[in-house]
Amino acid sequence: MQLQQVNVGNKSLSDYTTIASRGLMEQIRGLAEPLAGKRVLHLSATAFGGGVAEILYTLVPLMRDAGLETEWRVIFGQDEFFDVTKAIHNALQGNPRGLSEEEQAIFRRYNQGNAEALTDEFDFVIVHDAQPAAMIEHAREAGRRWIWRCHIDLSTPNREVLDFLRPWLASYDATVFHRQAYVPSSDGLAPAYIWPPAIDPLAPKNMALAPEDAAYIVDQFGIDVDRPLVSQISRFDPWKDPLGVIEAWRLLRKNHPNVQLALVGSMAHDDPEGWDYYNQTVAAADGDSDIFILSNLNNVGSVEVNAFQVHSVALIQKSIREGFGLTVTEGLWKARPMVAGRAGGIVDQIQDGETGFLVESVAECAEALNTILEQPHESRVMALRGKEYVRRHFLTPRLLRDWLALFNRLTGNDAAGDELVVSGTV
Residue numbers of the chain with a pLDDT score lower than 50: 425-426
Give the model confidence (pLDDT) of 115-159 as tens digits: 999 999 999 999 999 999 999 999 999 999 999 999 988 889 999
* pLDDT attached to residue 321: 86
* pLDDT attached to residue 1: 65
The enclosing H or E element of 159 equals helix 159-169
The Cα angle at residue 30 between residues 16 and 144, in degrees rounded to 5:
105
What is the pTM (predicted TM-score) of this model?
A: 0.87
Give the model confidence (pLDDT) of 320-348 as tens digits: 988 898 999 999 999 999 999 999 899 99
* pLDDT attached to residue 426: 38
Q: Distance between CA atoms of 19 and 15, rounded to whole angstroms? A: 8
* pLDDT attached to residue 240: 93
Q: List the domains of the chain with CATH numbers.
A: 4-198+395-422 (3.40.50.2000), 211-393 (3.40.50.2000)
Contacts of residues 133-142 at CB distance under 8 Å and 24 or more positions apart, as own/partner, are 133/165, 133/168, 133/169, 134/107, 134/108, 134/165, 134/168, 135/43, 135/75, 135/111, 136/168, 136/171, 136/172, 137/111, 137/112, 137/168, 137/171, 138/111, 138/112, 139/115, 140/171, 142/41, 142/115, 142/118
Is 244:213 a contact under the CB 8 Å cutoff?
Answer: no
* pLDDT attached to residue 323: 83
